Amino acid sequence: MNKHSLVEIISDRLNMPHDLVCSVINTLADVIADSLLEEERVVIQNFGSFRLWHQASRPVRNPKTGEPMIFQPRNSVKFVPGKHLVDLLNRQADDMESDKA
C-alpha cells in the first residue's frame, strides 16, 4: 500500500475529502519526524512505537566488486509494533491456517 491508497481508504471510511486526509497524513509524518529529530520516542497506542536508531560505522563489501569499504554512521528509524497489532496479525494468520486445514 502506498500513500495514495492510504488516503483513498481513509477518505472513503471517514467520508472526508481527499485533500484533508492527505494533509493529516503529511502532518502526522512531519510530527513523527520532528519528534525523532529531537530523539523522542513516538508511541501510538495499540499500533506501535518509533525511535531513532544510530547505526555505527562498520566494514562492508561492495557487492559488485567485493572491495572492502566502510559503511558510514547514519541515523535510521526503528518501528516496534504494539501488542495489539501483533495479536491482530497473529490472530488473522491463525484464522488463515485454520481455513486451509
Cα 94 to chain centroid, rounded = 23
Q: What is the pTM of this model?
A: 0.76
Write down the pLDDT at residue 12: 98
pLDDT digits (tens, 9 = 90+) for 27-84: 999 999 999 999 999 999 999 999 999 999 999 999 999 999 999 999 999 999 999 9
Model confidence at 95, pLDDT cuts 50, 70, 90, reads confident
CA dihedral angle for residue 99, residue 85, residue 11, residue 36, rounded to 10 degrees:
-150
Write down the pLDDT at residue 35: 97
- Supply the CATH classification number for the domain 50-101: 4.10.520.10
Write down the pLDDT at residue 67: 95
Set of cell numbers at residue 100: 486451509
3-state secondary structure of 41: coil
Model confidence at 101, pLDDT cuts 50, 70, 90, reads low
Domain locations along the chain: 1-40, 50-101
3-state secondary structure of 63: coil
